[in-house]
C-alpha cells in the first residue's frame, strides 16, 4: 500500500494558483479539447484534479481530496492540479516504445523543456518519495496557448521526445512528445493541465464537484477516457 500511495501522489508541474472554485463556469469560447494520448489502450488509469479547498497535513492527509465526481483517493490526492494519465505497464511499456502525446487543441507552443532524465521513480527511502537517481529532476514538457489565452501543459515527457519548438503552430492531434517519467514523477505518466489566461487551473471534466460544462469535446462516461477529436 505504501508504494501505491507514493506512486499516485508523486507528480507535479509548476503551481501558480489553486484550481478554480468548483461550480463556477468559465467561458471557453470555441475551445474544445481532444484526448492527448491517441493510443487509449496505453492508459491504465486517471488521477484527477483535487477540488477540496482544504490543504491537508502531510502524510496520510495527502490522500484527502475530492475529484470531479466527488470521490476521494485514489481518484485524486491533496492539491493535485492536473489530470495524470498513468502508462499501463509502467517502465516496461515505456521501454517498449511508450505512447505518443498530442496537442489537445489548435494553438501555439509557448514553452518547452527537454534533455532531462526520464526514469524518475518512487523511492520510499527518499524524503520526497521520488528519486531521479542523482539527476536534476526537471520535467521535460510542452506548453501550448490556445484561443482566448487558455493553455494546456504536457509534463513528464521522455527525454529527447519533445517534437515541437517555441513559436510553432500546432493543430489538434499533432505529436508534441512521448510519455516518460521526468521531473517529480514516480512512474511513467502524462500530467495534463488546463489553465485559464491568468494561470488558474481548470479541471476539464464536468461533474458534481467541478463545473457543469465539460471542456472535452466528448467527455464520455465516468472513468472512460474522453474522445480523441477536438470538435463535438
Chain segment 118-141, per-residue pLDDT in tens: 999 999 888 878 999 999 999 999
Report how many domains make up the chain. Answer: 1
DSSP the chain: -HHHHHHHH-B-----SPBPPTT-----TT--BPPS-S-GGGEEEEEB-----SPPPSGGGGG----TTS--TTSB-TT--SEEEEETTHHHHHHTT--EEE-SSSEEEEEEE-S---B-EE-TTSTTSEE-TTS--PPEEEEEE-GGG-EEEEEEEPTT-----TT-EE-TT-EEEEBBB-SSBSSSEEEEEEE-TTS-EE-SS-STTS-SS-SBS---STTSPPPS-S--
What pLDDT does 5 receive?
45
| 35 found inside a domain | yes
Q: Whole-model pTM?
A: 0.91
| 214 found inside a domain | no
Q: Identify the domain containing residue 169 by its residue range.
A: 2-202
| 207 found inside a domain | no
Residue whose C-alpha cell reads 490556445 in the numeric block? 146
Strand partners, 121: 131
Query: Is the peptide bond preceding residue 74 cis, with omega within 30 degrees of 0?
Result: yes
Q: Is the pLDDT at 8 greater than 90, yes or no?
A: no
**CATH of residue 149:** 2.70.70.10
Q: What is the pLDDT of residues 202-229, one digit of tens each?
A: 999 999 999 999 999 999 999 999 998 8
| 58 found inside a domain | yes
| 48 found inside a domain | yes
What pLDDT does 4 receive?
47
What pLDDT does 228 receive?
84
| 131 found inside a domain | yes
Amino acid at each position: 500500500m505504501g508504494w501505491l500511495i507514493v506512486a499516485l501522489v508523486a507528480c507535479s508541474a509548476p503551481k501558480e494558483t489553486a484550481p478554480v472554485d468548483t461550480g463556477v463556469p468559465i467561458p471557453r469560447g470555441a475551445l474544445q479539447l481532444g484526448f492527448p494520448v491517441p493510443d487509449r489502450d496505453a492508459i491504465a488509469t486517471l488521477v484527477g484534479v483535487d477540488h477540496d479547498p482544504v490543504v491537508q497535513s502531510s502524510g496520510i492527509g495527502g490522500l484527502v481530496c475530492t475529484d470531479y465526481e466527488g470521490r476521494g483517493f485514489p481518484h485524486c490526492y491533496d492539491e493535485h492540479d492536473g489530470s495524470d494519465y498513468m502508462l499501463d505497464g509502467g517502465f516496461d511499456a515505456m521501454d517498449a516504445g511508450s505512447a505518443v502525446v498530442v496537442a489537445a487543441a489548435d494553438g501555439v507552443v509557448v514553452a518547452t523543456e527537454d534533455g532531462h532524465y526520464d526514469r524518475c521513480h518512487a523511492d520510499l527511502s527518499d524524503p520526497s518519495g521520488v528519486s531521479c537517481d542523482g539527476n536534476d529532476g526537471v520535467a521535460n514538457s510542452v506548453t501550448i496557448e490556445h484561443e482566448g489565452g487558455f493553455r494546456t501543459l504536457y509534463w513528464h515527457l521522455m527525454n529527447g521526445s519533445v517534437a515541437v519548438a517555441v513559436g510553432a503552430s500546432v493543430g489538434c492531434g499533432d505529436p508534441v512528445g512521448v510519455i516518460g517519467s521526468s521531473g517529480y514523477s514516480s512512474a511513467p505518466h502524462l500530467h495534463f493541465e488546463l489553465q485559464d489566461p491568468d494561470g488558474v487551473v481548470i479541471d476539464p471534466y464536468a461533474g458534481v464537484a467541478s463545473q457543469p460544462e465539460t471542456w472535452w469535446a466528448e467527455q464520455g462516461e465516468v472513468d472512460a477516457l474522453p474522445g480523441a477529436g477536438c470538435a463535438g
